[in-house]
Amino acid sequence: MKTVLSVFTALVLFTNISFAQVGWTIDPAHTNARFEVKHLGIAIVDGAFTKLEGTVETANATDFDKAKVNFSIDVNSINTRVQMRDDHLKSDDFFNAEKYPKMTLTNASLNHAKGGFVLTGDLTIRDVTKKVTFQVKQNGGIITDPWGKTRAGFTATTSINRFDYNIKYNDKLPTGVDAVAPTVEIIVYVEAVKN
């Protein structure tokens, strides 16, 4: 009986160790969610969201394969360096920040792929949620900073069609060219800190 109990206890301990998760928090001071979109068919306008938060859960502290990721962005923090444009982007023509103040990426999983990782999750903008895939590169591995904290950095990129998310502004030039293109490039520079 003692032997059976010992084996059972060891099994429980092994199971708990095997499924233990390592938590990471996105460092908002060193994380940047940016976007780029073509304007009038001839130039690129870019901007960023300055307030965001996120978490990552990994199976261990040395590998991000199969990590679980959740991310939230404050839409009202949009900054394109032009206040009038920022106000327009917060309006119902674009994000309707008053009604939909957050953009989120949920149920996201990070998996090893050729050249880095692939991150797939549910992106919600306004009242629409769609599956989106980011190509992700890890920047420089996992390090210990001068203050003893464990950190990792990543660059994630994808593109979306803004009309898929009810971002409905659709002015066109007389030539038929979109004033603001449908395709939006998204670049997220992430620095994560182990809890």
pLDDT tens for each residue of 153-175: 999 999 999 999 999 999 999 99
Question: Tell me: the pLDDT tens digits for 88-143?
Answer: 999 999 999 999 999 999 999 999 999 899 999 999 999 999 999 999 999 988 99
> What is the percent of the chain where pLDDT is above 70?
90
Domain at 22-194: CATH code: 2.40.128.110
Give the closest residue to 139 by CA, choosing from 153, 158, 119. 153
Residue 75, token pair as written in the block: 């839409």
Burial, 16: exposed, middle or buried (Cβ in 10 Å; 0-12, 13-18, 19+)? exposed
Distance CA 95, CA 85 (A): 12
